[in-house]
Amino acid sequence: MPESAKRPYSSPLRAESARRTRLLVRDAAARLFIDRGYVSTTVRNVAEAAGVSTRTVFTAFPGGKAELFHEVLHAAIEGDGAAAPTQVPRDGDPVERILDQMVGFSTDVLERAGTLMTTSIESSGADDDMRRFADEGARASAENAMTLAEGLAAHELLRPEISVQRAADVLFTVVSPQVYSMLRRQCGWDVDEYRNWVKATIRASLLH
């Protein structure tokens, strides 16, 4: 066959098999990271839980455990298309609508990814990759809190004595994965109790 007639071999079935294997490994890693923590989970553990070889894990995730955790956390934050966003009523108190939207979004993310976020924080003292993930998460949360605080200020919802920076600090703390973990996991609050507490705390601390 002439060289010009040759085409690179590509199999849709092989690509789909690789995708399924990647998801299988990722989901097994997610369970182990949540149950055992990051430091105590090894790539061999993940391979055994997924029913594949260690080599297969590294083929799917060449960066090893750090890449696996990044993929697991990203999928949880994004929701993988599985979770519907919290529905926000269009009528009633406009401040309540804003709170419902703010708190609903953050609660949805924490329900999916809060335990993994806490895992990265708890493991940050023992692992450089976890320290980087925890630092990146904290910066992203602080930036998001500032954006929300600026939005509240723009709508003139903050009390006069509350600065935008103070509002951002309060929001950063109240919706943090640490507080979420304490109330939802350690204290056993259900998600509605947690959501209502967050809204009430923001109202009492920041708003007119």
User: What share of residues in the chain are helix, strand, coil (percent, to 5)?
Assistant: 75, 0, 25
Which amino acid appears at position 55 of this protein?
R
**b/e code 22-60 from CB counts within 10 Å (16+ = b):** bebbbebbbebbbeebbeebebebbbebbebeeebbbeb
Sign of CA dihedral 34, 35, 37, 38: negative
Q: Which whole number is the average pLDDT over 25-46?
A: 95
Task: For residue 134, give the H/E element and its range.
Answer: helix 128-154
Tell me, what's the pLDDT at 91? Answer: 57
| Number of helical (H) and strand (E) elements in the chain, helices listed first | 9, 0
Q: Which domains does the chain possess? A: 12-80 (1.10.357.10), 84-206 (1.10.357)
Per cent of the chain over pLDDT 70 is 89
Q: How far apart are CA 111 and CA 6, in angstroms?
A: 50
Cβ pair 164, 206 in contact under 8 A? no
Per cent of the chain over pLDDT 90 is 77
Tell me, what's the pLDDT at 86? Answer: 46
Q: Which whole number is the average pLDDT over 84-92?
A: 50
The pLDDT tens digits of the residues spanning 142-188 come to 999 999 999 999 999 999 999 999 999 999 999 999 999 999 999 99
38 has a pLDDT exceeding 70: yes
Cβ pair 28, 56 in contact under 8 A? no
Q: Which whole number is the average pLDDT over 39-48?
A: 96
158: β partners: 207
For the CA atoms of the chain, what is the radius of gyration?
A: 21
Q: What is the pTM of this model?
A: 0.81
Q: Which whole number is the average pLDDT over 51-57?
A: 96
Q: Which of 4-18, 57-71, 83-97 bottoms out in mean pLDDT, i.e. has the lowest?
A: 83-97
